[in-house]
Each structure stands twice: as C-alpha cells, then as structure tokens.
Amino acid sequence: MVTPILDFDALAQDIARRTVLCIGDIMLDEFVYGEVSRISPEAPAPVIAAQRSEIHIGGAGNVANNIASLGARCIFVGLVGEDDAGKRLAAALAEQPGIESVLVCDPSRPTTRKVRFVSEHFSTHMLRADWEQAQPASDDIETRLIEAILPLIARADIVLLSDYAKGVLTARVIRHTIDAARKLGKPVIVDPKSLNWAIYRGATLLTPNRKEFSEATRSRADTAQSIVDASEEVMRLADCEAILVTQGENGMTLVSRNGEAVHVPAFPVKVRDVSGAGDTVAAALAVALATGADWGAALRLASAAAAVAVGKQGTASVSTAELRRRILPHAYLAAEEKIVLAPGALDAQLAEWRKEGQRIGFTNGCFDILHPGHVKVLTAARSACDRLIVGLNSDASVRRLKGADRPVQDERARAEVLAALEAVDLVAIFEEDTPINLITRIQPSVLVKGGDYTREQVVGHEVVEAAGGVVVLVDVLQGFSTTALVQRARGGSS
C-alpha cells in the first residue's frame, strides 16, 4: 500500500496552463429542500414543505465544473433538448469562468433533468424525479457530435469521456474520439457506464467504481489483490494502460499494465452527500494527468478532491484552495491559511464564519517569545468561542511599546508560531499601538485578556459590550514573562 507524496503548489501552477476536453451527458440537477413533519391525508406519503431550491449543472457538466474550479481550462461537448432545461444549462455554462461549451441540440429529446426532494432536518433524499430519454443519439446527432468533437482534440492536453448512458457517448462517438486522440498523442480518460469495455478500446485509463468493476469483470473485487487479478484480462480487452477502481471509504486502487498496483486510502471525512463524487475524481485525475503527473500524484490529488466533495451537500465542485487545505500538513498550512494581511481577506473569513453561526473570539498581544503563560490564555480564549482571532502587534508597534531592542523575532516569525497552535484559527497583524481598530472591524462576541488586566483596562471592551459581547479575563500563569525571558537570555549570552 502506497501513499504518494504530492508537491501541490508546483502541480497547481502547471494545472492552470492545461486544457481538458470533456465530452459526456450533461443534466440539470435541482435540489428542493424543506421540512417533513406530516403524512399526506391523500396517500401514505410524507409531505415536504418546500423552503428553498438550488440548481446545479449535473452529470458530465459537473465534471466540467470541477475541471474549471481546479484551475484548468475546460472545453465541454454535450447534448441538450430544445427546452427550458436546455436553455438554463446553456446559460449556466456560459456564466462559468474557464468553461467553453459546445452544446448540440436535439429537438426530439428532452434535456436530462433530475429533481431531488431533500429533508432539511434529516439531510436525506426523500424522492427523485427524472426527465430523460436514455437512448443512444440518432445517426444524425452522432454525426453532429463527432463533427463538433474532432477539431477540438488538438486544442486539449487530455480528453475525458464522462459516460452516464444518456445517449451522447455512443460506440461510434467513442471510437472516433479515442482514435483521433491517440493519433494526436492525447491521453484519454473514460468514466465508463457500459459493461462492455471493449467499446472503450484504446483509452489510457478507465475509472469504474467497485460495483461497476465487479459487474464488468464478474469478480468480487473486495480486496486490492482481487482487483489486480481481475484487471489483467480486462486491460487486454480494452487495450488500456491502467484501470482505477474507486471504493468510497476504502480508497482507490490503480492497476497498470507496466507497473505494480497502487492503493491510496481515503481521507478521513464526515460524509454529507456522495452526489457527484465520481465526477470530482474524474476531473481531478484529468487535470493532474494533463500536466504529465505520475499515477501516484494524480491519485493523491483525486482522493483529496473526493474527500472535499463528499463533505458538501448536493452536486458540488472543489476549488484549488479547498484541495490545498485537504492535502497539505496542518503545520505547513499555518502560515498560508491562518495569517491574514489584507482587510478584504479578514472580512471574507468573518462573513463565512458568521454565515455558519460561529461565535468569534479575539485576543491580542506581542507574543515575542511564546511561553506557557501565552498558551494558557490562548487555550482558554479558544474554549470561550468557536473561532479565535489573535491580533498581533507589528514589528514597528512592538518597538514603540517595548523599546528599540524588541521584538526578538520579526512579525512573520511570531505569526507563524501562533498560527501553528491548534487553538488559533486566524492571526491578524496590526500596525497601531492598540488593536482598537481591529476589534471594531471584527466585532467579536468574546474579548479575552490575561487576568493581570481589569475589565476597564482591556482595549475594546466598550465596543464589544455595546454589541452584546462579553469580556473574559483569564488567570495568568505565574513565573512566565517575555521580558524576563529576554533579559535572562541576554544576560546568559554576555
């Protein structure tokens, strides 16, 4: 079992220069959310009191969305009907940055549309209604699709076929696309739906889930070894370089013709909704392999993307920032993700926390040499709120307050040490002698200082209390002082 190491920043920069041609079955996903509290008097069925609805680009369109949100450019080819759902999809795609869409219109069929009714309280799907015609495209529509696809292949770094068996990816469309891509040296990823994998012959990578793999190979596929054993014959049949079997919470197993099996365990995550997780995996694999990344790096990226996607409700796309937070170690994330320098970044984070109903706390200081007394105050402050912001005096501010020989560590070093603490959610550096402007901007619910202050001495107490917040004083830990530590250190070095 191998867990590959991934240089995320270098990969993300390369992804931004790549283009993915995505072809497949697009659909309109609608989620109707409401409360279920009674049974209908007309029939033994629950009644959902609809409160809100959301519209998403679904199916292969969700793959395209994820490709773009991960930083690559996407050219998307799909099929819609001459109806309102098709117009809404075309308009939604046109609004998505990074997506160039080519939609073939078939007036003889409806645009695929799925409406899910979801209990808000229990976060469970109560019912799904589908409008679709899951039949292969007609000969004329096939020809139009092929004519649209072939000129686009040269513009792409990789081709991704997202098959939902709704009619776009017929055997003829697949054959023309794979043959043209191979002639131009472009890799082809297929997220297959058909159990006859011979129609995907010549693809670079097939990405079935465990159930699809088991049915296609007539194997149990319940262990990594059983997947390896069942893959050999089917890889010869499909003439592909590798097969990736996704297994939900059990991770992903890749078997290649020219190498050992690679297994990537799933990231531990609280699952909210698995809708579209396979789309996210396919998109992440495509953008990674488009850069020339090896199998291990591509799988690691895809596994992290899936973990982000299933933690969201509904058909969701994954951003580069979300992926970075999932992949990188927390200690490395501290400086990049917890330290805010721009007021706009602070405001955005505050808005997100308030939307989530988080109780925001604030404390401040110079924190020149972090000691156990500081840690006690910070830990106590975090226990009094949901999210803790630490205001940190800038170097110039510390010099004015403490003298020309301070700080011992510059503001960036002090901020990184603070940010590495689990109790600290955000570090904001301020230039003034006091954090009053920062407190006024943040409007925290809880203002925390050490017990060597009185309530009246705490800067910003009037602002916080006027807004309904509270001031909390934490007993200081005796025997620890930054000034004493600095004097002792300097005395010892002389």
Residue 167 Rama label (left phi>0; alpha psi -120 to 50; beta): left
Q: Which residues pair with 378 in a beta bridge?
A: none
User: What pTM was estimated for this model as a whole?
Assistant: 0.69
Distance CA 445, CA 461 (A): 11
pLDDT at 486: 58
Separation of CA 213 from chain center? 26
Q: What residues pair up with 80 in beta bridges, in sequence order?
A: 105
How far, in Å, CA of 460 to CA of 392, rounded?
15
Per-residue pLDDT averaged across 411-432, rounded?
A: 90
Separation of alpha carbons 195 and 217, rounded Å:
8
Q: Which has the closest alpha carbon to 417: 354, 320, 461, 482?
A: 482
Would residue 29 show up in a list of annotated catalytic residues for this protein? no
Among residues 29, 106, 273, 279, which one is catalytic? 279
Cis peptide leading into 407, omega within 30 of 0? yes
Token pair belonging to 19: 């283009």
Share of residues in the chain with pLDDT > 70 (%): 91
Q: How confident is the model at residue 488 (pLDDT cuts 50, 70, 90)?
A: low
- Could you tell me the domains of the chain? 8-328 (3.40.1190.20), 332-493 (3.40.50.620)
With residue 442 as reference, give the H or E element that holds it: helix 436-442
pLDDT tens figures, 99-115: 999 999 999 999 999 99
Q: What is the pLDDT of residues 47-58, one digit of tens each?
A: 999 999 989 999
Distances from the Cα of 146 to the Cα of 123, 179, 184, 185, 487, angstroms? 41, 12, 16, 18, 77
Number of H helices, E strands in the chain: 18, 19
Q: What is residue 482's predicted lDDT score, i.e. its pLDDT?
A: 58
Over residues 164-179, mean pLDDT? 97
Higher pLDDT, 176 or 236: 176
